[in-house]
Structure 1
Amino acid sequence: MQKCKITVLFGKELCLRITNVIRGSSFHDWMIGPEELWHEMSDEELMWRASMVPRISKYPKNRTRKVAFMFLSRGSLPLGPLWEMFFKGHAGLYSVYLHTSPEFTKEPPESSVFYMRKITSKHVEWGQATMMDVERRLLANALLDFSNERFVLLSETCIPLFNFTTIYNYLINSNHSFDHCKPPCYMDEHYLAILVTKAHSDMNSNRSITWVDWSKGGSHPTRFVKKDVSKSFFNRVRHGFNCTYNGSLTTVCFLFARKFQPNTLEALLKIAPTLLGFNP
């Protein structure tokens, strides 16, 4: 029988609830997370379980290192078809997590990479502290899968700038994290960036891999519409900068970009196979 050794930290009632969750879990659940993301754990229980770190570094089974893509959206992803094209043919190398408004219950087709990938959601107010709770909730769910080694937070207006293989290799082989903001920093925009910088500045690259145009000032970046999508635009964003990657200079500094409005989807789908190297 499992004993509640965490009573001092969490209280007896919470300890018993967590013990029941553990008792009903298989080794598979603990190694790569439950197949179904929907669970009844409270945020406190979720954070406790996600904070576990194995004392033995060697894993008892072979595993594939994965990148966790954590999407924050009000409902269905307006640019979802572009992401479907991005993920096509790379099953097993990524995990998808989607946080939507609790009122949104629609599921995509079973063939979609977003099918049954919604996590337990709560009400969110854009620009408020609840956004930080969402980011923590997404990250905690992703941490339940020990195969996830890189974590990318994405909004519903984000797009990839390269194909999956390029982005996967860039992230998996990197020696640093990519979290950064230039003041003023906003809690809903830069919570994780500030947290990583404060806690592990030595492991941070002090730059972002998501390109955003803040040139107009204010608390909201530039929004891009259909007429903005062109080869010259993407070539400038993809290779128009210099940065350091694992100690070497490179022009590949940004892997993602935002904010792209829903009316850009058709143009993005047309340009993706040739310019971005997506599988059609």
Structure 2
Amino acid sequence: MVEAERRLLANALLDFSNQRFILLSESCIPLYNFSTVYSYLMNSNQSHIEAYDQNGPVGRGRYSHHMMPQVMLFQWRKGSQWFEMDRTLALEVVSDQDYFPLFKKFCTRPCYGDEHYLPTFVSIKFWRMNSNRSLTWVDWSKTGPHPGWKFMPGTLTRLLRFAPQIMKFNH
């Protein structure tokens, strides 16, 4: 997953007009219209990568001591794989030759690189550039490896009917 994300970023970086980079799920539904989101991101001086320290088996329990000394246990972070970053940080992620190979080699099950690489890398090297939060929200109240479904199957039809007016898509 992390390799694919890095390739996506590298390809997007080839277009010099791209200044912000965002990875979302196909299930993401915007809460604001495009112009509001665009303005917010373009005027932001930080990237949005969730990174937190979590005890237990799905947090610090996934750390491998083979990552020392580059990544120490106290530096280990977890977060959503969904991110938003500026061009400067995207260049750093794509060009990283220190941390990515370490994660590729030692972040194996039960470690998931898409939940740990970017949060850890950014927290260690670029924490001042990060808002330390995601732009997406997921309902994790149901236990298990995947979030609970927020919408009933018939929701999409109704959403498509009223979203253009509420979110001003046609303006």
Structure 1 length-normalised TM:
0.37
Alpha carbons 2:139, 2:150 under 8 Å: kept:
no
Corresponding residue for residue 170 of structure 1:
40
SS of 1:198's equivalent in the other structure is helix
> Displacement, 1:189?
4.2
**Using the alignment, how far apart are the partners of 1:266 and 1:204 within structure 2?**
36
**Using the alignment, how far apart are the partners of 2:155 and 2:6 within structure 1?**
30
More strand by share: 1
Corresponding residue for residue 132 of structure 1:
2
Q: In structure 2, give the amino acid aligned to 1:278.
A: F
Q: In structure 2, give the amino acid aligned to 1:135.
A: E
**Using the alignment, how far apart are the partners of 2:115 and 2:157 within structure 1?**
27
Root-mean-square deviation (CA, aligned residues, Å) is: 2.2
Corresponding residue for residue 22 of structure 2:
152
Residue-pair matches, total: 115
Q: For 2:132, which of 203, 206, 228 is the aligned residue?
A: 206
Does 2:139 align with 1:269? no
Residues 218, 143 of structure 1: alpha-carbon distance in 2 compared, 3 angstrom cutoff: same
Q: For 1:218, which of 119, 144, 155 is the aligned residue?
A: 144
Structure 2 length-normalised TM:
0.59
State the identity as a percent.
Answer: 57
Residues 278, 132 of structure 1: alpha-carbon distance in 2 compared, 3 angstrom cutoff: same
Corresponding residue for residue 93 of structure 1:
none
1:14-25 equivalences under 5 Å are none
Query: Which segments of 5 or more consecutive residues in structure 1 lack a partner in the other structure?
Result: 1-130, 228-262
Q: Structure with the greater relative contact order (CA < 8 A, sep ≥ 6): 1 or 2?
A: 2
Alpha carbons 2:50, 2:132 under 8 Å: kept:
yes
SS of 1:152's equivalent in the other structure is strand
**Using the alignment, how far apart are the partners of 1:275 and 1:191 within structure 2?**
37
Alpha carbons 1:179, 1:194 under 8 Å: kept:
no
Alpha carbons 1:214, 1:222 under 8 Å: kept:
yes
SS of 2:32's equivalent in the other structure is coil
**Using the alignment, how far apart are the partners of 2:158 and 2:41 within structure 1?**
27
Alpha carbons 1:226, 1:267 under 8 Å: kept:
no
SS of 2:24's equivalent in the other structure is strand
More helix by share: 2
Residues 224, 276 of structure 1: alpha-carbon distance in 2 compared, 3 angstrom cutoff: same
